[in-house]
Amino acid sequence: MYVSSVSGAEPTNDPVPEGLRIELGRLVRAEQAARRLPSVTAAVVRDGEIIWREAVGLASIGGDRAATVDTQYRLGSITRTFTAVAGMQLRDAGELDLDDQLDKHITGAAHALTIRRLLSHLSGIQREVPGAAWETHRFEPSEKLLDALAAADRVLPPGRRWHYSNLAFAVLGQLIEQLAGMRYEQYLHERILGPLGIQRISLEPQEPAVEGYLVQPYADGVWTEAPVHTAGCAPAGQLWGTVEGLCRWGAFLVEPNASVLAGESLDEMRTVQAIVDDDRWTVGYGLGLGLRRDADRVLVGHSGGMPGFAAELLVSPNDMVGAAVLTNSGGSSLVEVTERLIARTVEQLPVAPEAWHVAEPPPPDLKGVLGVWFIEGEAVVFRWRKGVLEAGFPDAPEWVKPSLFRKEDVDLYRAVSGPEHGERLRFVRDETGRVTKVYWATYPVTREPRVWGGDG
C-alpha cells in the first residue's frame, strides 16, 4: 500500500505512479484552500486496497493540532449505508420482507410505512423528528421514537417522489434493534464492522478526533460548533470514522464479503429506486445508497453532513475504484473533489481486467444449449462462463450486461440479473433428449430465425 500523508506515513512499494500521487494531493490541497476548510483528509481505494491517503490542515485550530489520516471525523448520513446493510442482512435471514409494513414488526408504528420505502426515501414521511432538535441539540431517545413517528406529518403520498428523511432511518434503527434483539451499536460491531475488520468507525468519537467548525463567510475565521449527539436518531447520522475505515467500507460496497452480505443483495441496494433530480436524471437513490452519474460512470455511496462536518464516500463498482473525503467544516460539499479523485485514478491507474483461465465444463443438461439462438430474427448467444449460464445479444452496446441464470429445476432456469431479470428460461426437448426450443419470458427461442408462430 502506497501512502502519502502530511502526517509522515511511510510509503511502501505499491506501483502508484508518482504523477498520480502528486495529482491527487494537489486536488485535495486545492479543495482545502479554495473552500477555506480547516482540514481535509482523503483516501483512494483500488481493487480492495487503499493506495493513497493525505491529510491537510488542522484538526483543532486552538491547539494547532494537525489532522492526520488516522483522525476521526463525523460521517453524518453515511451512517445510513450501514443501517441499510443491516436491514438487508435481516431480510436475507428471513426476519423481514422489504415490502412489509413497519407495524408488522413494531406494534403501534404509525403511517403504514413499508421498509422498502423507508430505505429509499419514498415513504413520504417528514424529514426530521418533530420538534426543535436542530435548535436545542436535544434529540428524542429511542423509546420516544414511536411517539415522534405518530406525531410526524406524511408530507407526500407514498412513492410520489424522493423525499429525504432522517426520521425514516431512525425508525429503521428501531426495527433492527427489535428484530436482532440487541442495541444498534452492538449490531454494527458484531455483524458488520467486526467481520469486515474495519477499525476506527464508531458511534462516539475516539481520539484522535477533530473539532467541528463553521467557517465565517466574510472573514478568515471560524466558529466552533457545539457537539451534537443524535440519541435515538443515531442510525441516521451518528457515526464517526477515518478515511481508511471509510475506504474499507467502500471496498465492501464494490465487492461484498459474502459472509456479511450476498452479492445479489448488494446489487439490489445499488439498483435505482428513485430519481433524485427530476430535471437532469444524474442523481438517484437505491436502498440506503446514493447513485450519481459522472459522464459514463455510475458512482455509488453517500454524502454526510453534521454541524461542523462534511463527508463523502463514492465508489465506481465497474472500475473497482473509490474515494473518501472528510472535513471539519459544516455546510461543505465534497462531491466534486471525490469524483475527481476517482476519475484521475481510473485514468492513470485502471484496474487490469481479470485474466481468462480454463474453467470447469458446463453441466450435461446444457449440452446442445450453448451457442447462437434467435428470438424471431434477433440473435441471442447462450454461454457458460465462470460457472454460470448467461445470455447476451451480440449487437448490444458494450455496457449492456448479459442475463445470468440460476437453475431451479430440470430444464428450468431463472434470470437473476441482466435483461428479463426474474423471468424463467425453459428448455423443450424431443424424444431423443435434444433441446429443440427454449422459452424465455414465454418468448420462443429457436435455432434459426423465424416469424412469430412460424413452425419452420
pLDDT tens digits for 79-101? 999 999 999 999 999 999 999 99
pTM of the complete model: 0.93
- Predicted pLDDT of residue 7: 38
pLDDT at 114: 98
Same fold, 1-355 and 364-445: no
Total number of residues shown for the chain: 456
Q: So what's the pLDDT on residue 203? A: 97
pLDDT greater than 50 at residue 126? yes
pLDDT value for 455: 58
pLDDT for 3 beyond 70:
no
Which H helix or E strand runs over 452? none
Predicted confidence (pLDDT) at residue 218 exceeds the cutoff of 90: yes
Provide the 8-state DSSP code for 189: I
Pairing type for strands 403-409 and 73-74 reads: unpaired
Burial class, 199, CB count within 10 angstroms (exposed 0-12 / middle 13-18 / buried 19+): middle
The Cα 448–Cα 456 span in angstroms is 9
Interhelix angle 79-92/243-254, rounded to 10 degrees, is: 40
Over residues 387-406, the mean pLDDT reads 95
Average pLDDT over residues 352-364: 93
Going from the C-alpha of 280 to that of each of 277, 291, 334, the distances in angstroms are: 6, 13, 20
Report residue 152 as a C-alpha cell: 410526524
Q: What are all long-range contacts of 409-415, with beta carbons under 8 Å and residues at least 24 apart?
A: 410/365, 411/365, 413/389, 415/440
d(CA 248, CA 82): 13
Burial 421-438 (b: 16+ CB within 10 A, else e): eebbbbbeeeeeeebeeb
Q: Give pLDDT, residue 374.
A: 97
* 413-453 residue pLDDT tens: 999 999 999 999 999 999 999 999 999 999 999 999 999 87
- pLDDT mean over 312-341: 97
Asked whether the beta carbons of 24 and 41 are under 8 A apart, the reply is no
- In this prediction, residue 363 carries a pLDDT of 96
What are the cell numbers at 60? Answer: 483543532
For residue 6, pLDDT over 50 is answered with no
pLDDT at 137: 85
Q: Which of 66, 73, 80, 81 is nearest to 8 (CA)?
A: 66
CATH of 1-355, one of 3.40.800.10, 3.40.710.10, 3.30.70.20, 3.40.50.1440: 3.40.710.10
Q: 9: pLDDT confidence band, cut at 50, 70 and 90?
A: very low
pLDDT average, residue stretch 33-61: 97
Which ranges in 311-353 belong to alpha helices (H)?
335-348
Burial class of residue 397 in the structure, from the number of CB atoms within 10 Å of its CB (0-12 exposed, 13-18 middle, 19+ buried): exposed
- Which H/E stretch holds residue 388? strand 388-392
Residue 63 belongs to what H/E stretch?
none
CATH fold label, 364-445: Lipocalin (2.40.128)
Q: Is the CB of residue 236 less than 8 Å from the CB of residue 170?
A: yes
**Cα 208 to Cα 210: distance, rounded to the nearest angstrom:** 7
The predicted pLDDT at position 10 comes to: 37
For 237-282, what is each residue's pLDDT tens digit? 999 999 999 999 999 999 999 999 999 999 999 999 999 999 999 9
Mean residue pLDDT of the chain comes to: 94
For residues 346-359, give the mean pLDDT: 94
Give the strand pairing for 65-66 and 73-74.
Answer: unpaired
Q: What is the pLDDT of residues 361-374, one digit of tens each?
A: 999 999 999 999 99
Domain-wise residue ranges, the chain: 1-355, 364-445
pLDDT at site 453: 75
pLDDT of 454: 63
How far is C-alpha 225 from the chain's CA centre? 29
Model confidence over 141-159: pLDDT tens digits? 999 999 999 999 999 999 9
The confidence score (pLDDT) of residue 29 equals 98
What are φ and ψ of residue 19, in 5° steps?
-60, -40
